[in-house]
Amino acid sequence: MKRVTGIGGLFFKTGNPDMIREWYGKHLGISMQDQHGAVFTWGKEGKDEKGSTVWSPFKKTTTYFQPSEKDFMFNYRVENLEALMKVLKEEGVQVVGEMEVYEYGKFGWIMDPEGNKIELWEPVDAEFNKMNDSTNSSS
């Protein structure tokens, strides 16, 4: 079974999210999509968007990363979240909360051995999944 297919996002805590968004926009050209952060799209040159990676500063006081006490959280893209969560649980990986489903995908959370919360995301991206399946089945 395929597990992680890419990085879906990088989320981190900061004392002043607005200032950080402004600094990154001014100095690195990271354009914010909304109050949450930036979305980097990727795919084959000249083709429609095939995927995205989110970059998002959170308030220092956010509880979204709990039970982790770390100041960051990675989000990884996966292909079959339900099956993967079942396998991870069978392997003894700590699962956090229940899977959530939104119009843009399914989300599940786990903890690594060092207390880092990891968000797993199965995006609603049929074209990307088809492209990825055909690429991986030929190798």
Each residue's pLDDT expressed in tens, for the chain with a length of 139 residues: 888 988 999 999 999 888 888 888 888 788 877 666 888 877 655 455 567 889 999 999 999 999 999 999 999 999 999 999 999 999 999 999 999 999 989 999 999 988 999 999 999 864 444 444 443 333 3
pTM of the model: 0.76
Paired strand residues for 30: none
Q: Which two tokens stand for residue 110?
A: 């786990």
Range of the domain at 31: 4-137
Paired strand residues for 14: 59
State the CB neighbour count (10 A cutoff) for residue 37.
21
Go through 52-76 and write b for each residue having 16 or more CB atoms within 10 A of its CB, e for each that does not: bbbbbbbeeebeebeebeeeebbbb
Residue 6 phi, psi dihedral angles, 5° rounding: 170, 180
Could you give the number of structural domains in the chain?
1
Q: What is the CATH number of the domain that holds 98?
A: 3.10.180.10
